[in-house]
Structure 1
Amino acid sequence: MATRTLFTILNHKTKTLTANAILARTRTYCFKSNPVKRNNLHSRINSIGDPSCSVAPVLQQWVKEGKNVNEFQLQPIIRDLRARRRYSHALEVSKWMSSSDLKFSSSDCAVQLDLIGRVHGLRSAENFFCSMKDQDKTVQTYGALLNCYVREGLIDESLSLMKKMREMGFLSSPLNYNNLMCLYTNVGQLEKVPDVLLEMKMNGVSPDMFSYRICINSYGARADYNSMEKVLQEMESQQNIEMDWGTYSVVANHYIKAGLNEKALHYLKECEKKVGKNALGYDHLISMYASLGNLDEMKLLWGLLKAKCKKHTNINYIRMLGSLMKLGELEESEKLLKKWESSCKTYDFRVPNVLLIGYCQKGLVEKAEAVLQDIIKRRKTALPNSWSIVAAGYVNKNNIEKAFECFREALALQAENKDWRPKASLISSILSWLGDNGEVEDAEAFVKLLRTKVPANRDMYHALLKAYIRNGKEVEGLLERMKDDEIGDIEETMKILSLREQRS
């Protein structure tokens, strides 16, 4: 988890990072027991996928059944929930643990502080820290508060806290220096990262793998490749650091972006030597060889991944399919999808969605729809985002009528994925077309369905208003509905109403 998070930030795919990452409001009680997994507390909690549900009843029921619970059971549960970004549930378990008679260490307290910051915000985290007893304010809890400042991108507060931690002797490890380097990376002040590494060494703190990697990235992002290689060589010379695939992949990625393919290939080979049985490493290697257009290496690495890694997840297929589509290898992509379909236990629509996106990007939206229809015939109900992908493809080809039909399918399936959030631009294009071309009944039915997913807004009513006027229907009732829903923008509404006068 640690390496993965860092690699992501170094490739600029997330907005924030804290060094501890390298290493939620009141809930409704809606717990339902799971008879299949009820003998395991961890499984019971994991079975609650809805973030609006509380996990407290699960813990209470566990105790009510006369079963023991201790900190050694709860700590890994909290770690797992954090790793899967179920922060509100993790905080609930942490608070339950701290309010019980169980041992609650300073590390547990630091975890709770970090979770409070994530769920309730920085001010709540600061208040929690201030309310702690002095003996509980340890290097871990100070570090957790620093995480919160870094996550919010607060430089002055972070530096002030670092100064206090230095005075208290709490800067003896690289962790908090790494935090500060991540902060400078997140806010775009990359030139300050090497200074932190230098300060760390001057203060007698030995940099770890992540310290060097963050610094290597800072030079690479600024195209200072000589300095990047010097830091890499220094890192390689450290006896306490075991070089891994992630560092070489960071260097290779910067050379790929710079178009320095020979250099990139050299470090990709170094990366291959270290990847071992790490499926994530193979995923990144395949993706980078795709950037170089090297299909043969991609196939070779895919074969190694399947041979060396015991577990092949849907994510591995998603990334390989994405790389194949990037190279325009449609036939190879279709073959791989069929292989996945023949072996998958649960049909995960995220996998074929990769092909749908690729087809639409290449203007083959009709093929994308045909593939989706075929999957539905052979498998089960699609997810709304699958139809939404095809709808967006039709919008890009300026076939809004077909986009409307596909998006209607997506809305009808929203119960299959409650977290689905349709793109505003797609909705806007379809509403605009409905206003100019649709029948009143179609527009009303669509808006009614859309309102189950998106709050009433101006675009909805203006589309209806245009359809009403174009079809010669009275608009007074519609204007009353607009007023009830507090839809403003009178000027635009008056422009649309003027069309009625022109028609008459």
Structure 2
Amino acid sequence: MAALWRRARLVFHPTLLENPRLFSSGLSRTEAASANEDEVVGSPLSPGDDLRSRIFRLRLPKRSATAALERWVSEGNNVTASELRRIARDLKRSQRYKHALEISEWMKSHQEFELSDSDYAMRIDLITKVFGVNAAEEFFEGLPSTAKSCDVYTALLHSYAATKMVDKAESLFERIMESNFLLSAVTFNEMMTLYMSTGQLEKVPLVINELKLRNISPDLFTYNLWISASAATLDIDGVQKILNEMAEDTSSNDGWIKYMKLADIYITVGHLVSSDSSLVEAEKKISQREWITYDFLIILYTGLGNIERIGEIWRSLQKTSQKMTSRNYLCILSSYLMLGQMKDAGVVINQWKESKALDFDVSSCKRLYNAFLKAGCSGEAETLLQLMRKRNFDLD
């Protein structure tokens, strides 16, 4: 831990602004100068030589992006803030977080570059990835109040959510709510994502209530999280209410049909199967708010009563290499219950029994059991009870 904090303090050390090379590799002045000659690949005479290419050719984290940048400038080349931001974003997308943070630090240490809210927000995210959330928190608290915009607060909130630090996230969320910021759905989505990832699904509606209280319009990702949480808790009436609300969404003349059209696009172009997560992406560069989960697609088609499409989505999900969770099973079972497809529900329960899904939401399963009994499906209820006992749970 002590070693971590020694590294983290480099971000804020006064000599860093005077000697940016020290940040990137921990080298002395002499060693950093040597790094200029030995580590920076490319020369001004190389065809197609540019700053981005030089930095991306460094590859190894121990090599100095700062040294490459210093050499570029020393050769008489100009560099703009927009170019540096673009390089930093590309490095981040490539998971070259240390080099991206060096670019961010170089901009900060040169006063001719006026940093924007998004610059500070990205810096918090990068510090979290390189040094940890505590270092990001210290950087945030050290910023002047004028630099602490809603975007910057939300960036720290994202760091807390990503590391599942519920108490700190809730405390920061309260600070944001007490501010006079012009808020968007993104901040609320961070809290819902946190509650979904920590299994605190009952808190998702509380976030929605706060969003509505402030007259903030939900976006696609908001609906995504909200409806998935309701389905996972077997709140079938709640799911139907959300679908009805989407139908009356004043932000679109077509209501929630626009989401169905988007879903059709995802499926038609063959992007339904995602190998590493439950997210269906039209392309790799889309933003968080354009992501759609399988659960969301299933519920949307449940609203349309399209049983065939629901089956296609479920089979597609099963073909992915992602880890299936109890939430996935509860979602599809909720849909079949809503549509009265008890035979299909029984098939899914049998699949669940044979699966390796380790997480198990007992309270939701009990609600599902009672729902089957209420629908007169004693066979499906008994199969579910067997599943619960197999997982060492019972109704008592």
Specify the TM-score bucket, using the shorter chain as the normaliser: 0.5 to 0.7
Return the alpha-carbon distance in structure 2 between the equivalents of residues 118 and 48 of structure 1. 19
Structure 2 partner of 1:58: 68
The alpha-carbon deviation at position 91 of structure 1 amounts to 0.7
* Structure-1 separation of matches of 2:230 and 2:24: 41
Residue pair 2:40, 2:54 contacting (<8 A) in 1 also: no
| Contact kept? 2:61, 2:99, Cα under 8 Å | yes
One-letter identity of the residue aligned with 1:204? N
**Structure 1 residues 58 and 232 mapped into 2: Cα distance closer, same or farther (>3 Å)?**
farther
Cα deviation, 1:466-487, whole Å, max 9, x if unaligned, reads xxxxxxxxxxxxxxxxxxxxxx
Q: Deviations over 1:210-234 (max 9, x none)?
A: 1111112212333444533432342
Q: Report the counterpart of residue 234 of structure 1 in structure 2.
A: 245
Give the CA deviation at 1:85: 2.0
Cα distance 1:60–1:254, how it changes in 2: closer, same or farther (>3 A)?
same
Counterpart Cα distance in 2 of 1:172 and 1:122: 23
Aligned to 2:350: none
| Cα separation, 1, equivalents of 2:104 and 2:47 | 22
Counterpart residue type for residue 266 of structure 1: R
1:209 corresponds in structure 2 to: 220
Contact 1:37 1:44 in 2 (8 A): no
Q: TM-score, normalised by structure 2?
A: 0.56
Instruction: Return the offset for 1:27.
Output: 5.9
Deviation at 1:63, TM superposition (A): 0.7
Amino acid at match of 2:309: H
1:72 to 82, 86, 89: 82
The residue aligned with 1:250 is 295
* CA contact 2:201–2:229 (8 Å) conserved in 1: yes
> Is the 8 Å Cα contact of residues 38 and 44 (structure 1) preserved in structure 2?
no
Tell me, yes or no, if structure 1 residue 266 matches structure 2 residue 277.
no
Aligned to 2:39: 31
Structure 1: runs of 5+ lacking an equivalent: 1-23, 270-284, 294-318, 324-504
Question: TM-score normalized by structure 1?
Answer: 0.45
Residue in 2 that maps onto 1:113: 124
Change (3 A) 1:178 1:251: closer
Following the alignment from structure 2 to structure 1, what is the Cα–Cα distance between the partners of residues 52 and 246? 40
Is the 8 Å Cα contact of residues 31 and 48 (structure 1) preserved in structure 2?
yes
Q: Tell me what 2:327 maps to.
A: none
1:88 is displaced (CA, Å) by: 1.2
Q: Greater shift after overlay, 75-84 or 163-172?
A: 163-172
**Could you tell me whether the CA contact under 8 Å between 1:252 and 1:264 is conserved in 2?**
no
CA distance in 2, matches of 1:43, 1:142: 33
For the residues of structure 1 that align with 2:317 and 2:169, how far apart are their CA atoms? 37
Bigger CA radius of gyration: 1
Show the counterpart of 1:413: none
The code of the aligned residue for 1:39 comes to D
2:234 is equivalent to residue 191 of structure 1: no
What is the CA deviation profile of residues 94-140 of structure 1, one whole-angstrom value per residue up to 9, with x for unaligned ones? 00111112121222112112211221112211211222112222222
Per-residue CA deviations over 1:283-325 (Å, capped at 9, x if unaligned) read xx6xx544578xxxxxxxxxxxxxxxxxxxxxxxxx8xx89xx
Establish whether residue 140 from structure 1 lines up as the match of residue 151 from structure 2: yes
Aligned to 1:85: 95
- Work out the CA distance in 1 between the residues paired with 2:40 and 2:136: 31
Match of 2:53 in 1: 43
CA distance in 1, matches of 2:47, 2:205: 50
Kept after mapping to 1: 8 A contact 2:24/2:102:
no
Q: Secondary structure at the match of 1:230?
A: helix
Higher relative contact order (CA 8 A, sep 6+): 2
Q: Distance in 2 between matches of 1:229 and 1:47?
A: 53
CA displacement at 1:188 relative to structure 2: 1.0
Aligned residue pair count: 252
Q: 1:49 to 1:37 in 2, by over 3 A?
A: farther
| Partner of residue 130, structure 1 | 141
Unaligned runs of 5+ in 2: 1-22, 28-34, 253-257, 264-290, 323-396
- Sequence identity, in percent? 32
RMSD: 3.2
- C-alpha deviation, 1:25, in angstroms: 7.2
Question: Are residues 85 and 254 of structure 1, via their aligned partners in 2, closer, same or farther at CA, if it must alter by over 3 Å?
Answer: farther
The alignment status of 1:97 with 2:107, answered yes or no, reads: yes
